[in-house]
Amino acid sequence: MLVVGGGLAGLACVAALEGRGAAVTLVDEAPRLGGSASYAPDLAPVVEPLVERARATAAVLVGSTAVGIFDGEALIAEPSRARVIRPRALVLATGAHDPVLCVEGNDLPGVVSARALCQLASRGVIPDGPVALVGDGPWIERARAVLDGLSFESYAADDLIAVMGSSRVKGIRTRSAGRRVCVVVGVGGDAAPSFQLAQQAGASTQATNAGFSIVVDGDGRAAPSVFAAGECTGTPFEPGALIESGERAAMGALSLL
């Protein structure tokens, strides 16, 4: 079995297969397992045991990318080579893409997702000036916790008119407060499911508020021998829901082995 994605859903899938005799390969493009949850301090008690179980249960390929799915075969680009894997069952836990602002200046250096802001903070990279948090959602809440004791202000997404600056963020212009100085803008909101690999593998998609999610049945099945779990199926970033989604996909995939 091949599991693509080492976040909560993918890790829960692998953990659910422990002791069931399935030969599992887990692929993740990040240098370490855990996905987004690995830089959310409140989730460490959940993530760390799942990572340990995954390493004991599966052949783990980190820093490796599932480039595409072609006629049931997955092309995996590893740091020093490429390989083709033809799994009897494929589980995709590919996550989601963070939202972007639809305003002038949305691509200036210093405009990042709230999730990325938390990731940077987990590596000791802290803004050296005021921060504007725009939007809502679980990563905005975590960003507020990360920035506790620092200078930040929160705004609704529809309150923002523009991000100001030339080579970097220097401030924002809002409807409620006019111009405000900041050096970083952290963006929250609905994430767009990463559906592309599943679509290559024959899965169907459905429209969501932020893009398209993978359609799965009650067993997590997206196509013959293809299963999906987590944010790519439209599951919100809520630990319990992500873990349940991964476990459901694991049991569905196990029925094929």
In our burial notation (b when 16+ CB lie closer than 10 A, e otherwise), range 126-163 reads ebeebbbbbbebbbbebbbebbeeeebebbeeeebeeb
Q: Indicate the pairing of strand 96-97 with strand 178-181.
A: unpaired
Q: Which amino acid is at 40?
A: A
Secondary structure of 7-41 in HEC code, one letter for each residue? CHHHHHHHHHCCCCCCCCEEEECCCCCCHHHHHCH
Whole-angstrom distance, CA of residue 18 vs CA of residue 24: 9
Confidence of residue 129 (pLDDT cuts 50, 70, 90): very high
Q: Write down all domains in the chain, each with its CATH number in brackets.
A: 2-97+191-254 (3.50.50.60), 111-187 (3.50.50.60)
Q: What sections of the chain are H helices per DSSP?
A: 8-16, 44-57, 114-122, 138-146, 196-200, 239-254
% residues pLDDT > 70 (the chain): 100
- Predicted local distance difference test score (pLDDT) of residue 209: 87
Q: Is the pLDDT confidence value at 210 over 90?
A: no
Residue range 182-202, pLDDT digits in tens? 999 999 999 999 999 999 999
Tokens found for residue 118: 């938390």
Q: What percent of the chain has pLDDT over 90?
A: 96
4 contact partners, CB below 8 Å, separation of at least 6: 10, 27, 28, 66, 74, 90, 91, 92, 93, 94, 197
**pLDDT band at residue 257 under the 50/70/90 scheme:** confident
pLDDT per residue as tens digits for the range 10-26: 999 999 999 898 999 99
Question: Average pLDDT of the chain?
Answer: 96
C-alpha–C-alpha distance, residues 212 and 129, integer Å? 36
Res. 84: pLDDT tops 90:
yes
- What are the pLDDT digits (tens) for 89-100? 999 999 999 999
Burial class (CB in 10 A: 0-12, 13-18, 19+), 256: middle
Burial class (CB in 10 A: 0-12, 13-18, 19+), 86: exposed
Instruction: Taking the CA atoms of 184, 190, 195 and 196 in sequence, report the sign of the dihedral they define.
Output: negative
Q: Are 116 and 109 in contact (CB under 8 A)?
A: no
Per-residue model confidence as pLDDT tens digits over 229-250:
999 999 999 999 999 999 999 9
CA-based nearest residue to 133, from 149, 119, 115, 121: 115
Distance between CA 26 and CA 50 in Å, rounded?
13
